[in-house]
Amino acid sequence: MSGVVAQTVPVYKVDAVILRHQPVGEADRILTLLTREHGKIRASARGVRKTTSRLAGRVQPYTQGRFLLARGRTLDVVAQAEVVRAFAGLQHDLLRSAYAAYVAELVDRFLPERDRHPEVFEAVLDALAVIETAAEDEAEIYALWFSLHLADSLGYRPEMERCVACGRPLPAGVSAEGLPARGGTGWTFSPAAGGALCPACAAGEPAGVAPGVLATGGFLLRSTAERARRLRVPERARRELAGLVQAHLEYHLDGRLRAPRVIARLRLAVPRPSGARP
């Protein structure tokens, strides 16, 4: 055809996990993908909400897949999707899904678009795999481990095992399994200061924190994922540590996280024994 130059739309493939999706218009969704190759990407899945769409079952939250993306003017477009792992256990249990949403929300909120972090991609897949079959206490500890290590990898590591102001270490004999939840020692945790404060440096700070709770946070920061999974912490200490970690993350995000509040509501609505598997 003389005088006509064929134009092709650039396409590329990515390994990705779907962090979230949101409806747009009558039939489309915007997917937030964490990719191994390009970091976080927002892409349009056109027509996916139609009953006839072949993509509908392949673009659910937390699905790991292989995606063919076509470059667009504002958003790239999902041309094809192949499911690698669906993490079905997350889709059918509200509490597990909420812990998965916590992992996804942290990554979505902390990572800028197109900022490549292959170690975070692998950590997210590992976290989803653990949470898919974990008991509630194990899922909570693993979510805390993930949160602390994500903060560390992005430059927001909290100091848990010594005073950030004077360097004083936690009292001798404190272990990761923890002391009683209220030790009356005057230690506290300050997101603004970057971590633990000893009694001498904690003037004007909120109520104290048991050294054992701080020691548990320090252990999680130093441990591998496998060691973290084996750690057993009393429920009260887990919740107190979760509150400290949440406050630290929200301080650096300068905003509130949604998932921890959803988890708290679900816990009240569907109470479970600490060791029971959902």
pLDDT of residue 58: 92
Question: Cα 58 vs. chain centroid, distance in angstroms?
Answer: 22
CA dihedral 114, 249, 236, 146 (to 10 degrees): 20
State the angle between helix axes of 211-222 and 235-253 in degrees (0 to 180), rounded to the nearest 10. 70
pTM of the entire structure?
A: 0.88
pLDDT of residue 44: 96
- For residue 197, the cross-strand partners are 188
Q: Mean of the pLDDT values across residues 233-249?
A: 95
Q: Exposure of 196 by Cβ count < 10 A (0-12 exposed, 13-18 middle, 19+ buried)?
A: buried
Q: Which domains does the chain have, with CATH numbers?
A: 11-86 (2.40.50.140), 88-278 (1.20.1440.120)
Chain segment 44-69, per-residue pLDDT in tens: 999 999 988 888 889 999 999 999 99
Tell me which residue of 1, 3, 273, 19 sits closest to 137, measured CA to CA. 273
Q: 34 is written with which tokens?
A: 């964490």
Q: How far is CA 184 from the centre of its chain?
A: 32
Categorize the per-residue pLDDT at 218 as very low, low, confident or very high, splitting at 50, 70 and 90.
very high
* pLDDT band at residue 219 using 50, 70 and 90 as cut-offs: very high
For residue range 177-207, list pLDDT tens digits in order.
544 434 446 899 999 999 999 999 988 777 7
C-alpha 20/C-alpha 42 separation (Å) is 10
pLDDT exceeds 50 at position 275: no
